[in-house]
Amino acid sequence: MAVALRGAAKVRSGLRLPHLVVIRRNLSETNAVKNGVDSMVTDCSEFGKWRNGGGVCHASASIDPTARVEVGAVVHSESMIGAGVCVGSGAVVGPSVSIGQLTKIGYNVSLSNCSVGESCVIHNGVCIGQDGFGFFVDDEGRMLKKPQMMQVSIGNYVEIGANTCIDRGSWRDTVIGDHSKIDNLVQIGHNVVIGKCCMLCGQVGIAGSVTMGDYVTLGGRVAVRDQISIASKVRLAGNSCVVKDIKESGDYGGFPAVPIHEWRRQFVALRAYKTCMPESCLKEY
């Protein structure tokens, strides 16, 4: 393109074209930025391309020779990656993150302040270890951030669906137990502890400092308020909202969540009430 423009300049009898100067300046600035990025990552003495996949790794990272880090992925300092791990393109493994053997990390995953166990599957776009949503209001009404200094611990054989977010803890680690399965678009707040063999369906939202036992199932779009405890072997119907502790195993549903047989009675009573209402009242609904 630059050659064609220079030829055009000659046709114009040596006139200096303003747009030609702008294009040349922009090209030089673009090259400078590109060279700067290359020097920060690929040309930096502390980073180098990983032989299996072509990703970029810090010199202090401990990576098993059988691990694969694909092109576009970055592994930062002091990280540990076990045997047979695959880190997909665009993924970022932050400083001091550990990943157990045979774990698969999808495209554009962000891992920071966390450890991931063995034989896990982390699907595309998952974010683990970012700061939790913690703020307080000072005397002047300003929103100030609470420190988020703890980690996220992911157990073995865990599967986490695409675009799920798991926040790091503020006063204790956020924990996901072994063999738990998490669907897409799930939000897990800071300090949450989830037991083993739990299942969280799509769009579940769990607020901070919740403690869940083992073998818990949350249906789609279940909401759990903060500082709630849920016993083991609890199942919650979709769209339920947990506002107080659930101390006994069983099935629950509704808003607020109650034992499933009670929720069904409430539902039948509401239908009967609507049936008995005058037509003039029904028109308002």
Structure tokens at 181: 């399965």
Integer Cα distance of 162 and 252 in angstroms: 27
Closest CA to 182 of 123, 97, 98, 232: 123
Q: Are 238 and 222 in contact (CB under 8 A)?
A: yes
Give me the numbers of helices (H) and strands (E) for the chain, helices first please: 4, 33
Which of the following is catalytic: 58, 76, 190, 261?
190
Give the helix ranges, DSSP H, for 15-112: 18-40
DSSP state of 159: E
Asked whether 173 and 194 are in contact (CB, 8 A), the reply is no
8 Å CB contact between 174 and 196: no
* 123 tagged catalytic: no
Q: Which of 153, 134, 132 is nearest to 143 (CA)?
A: 134
Catalytic residues: 190
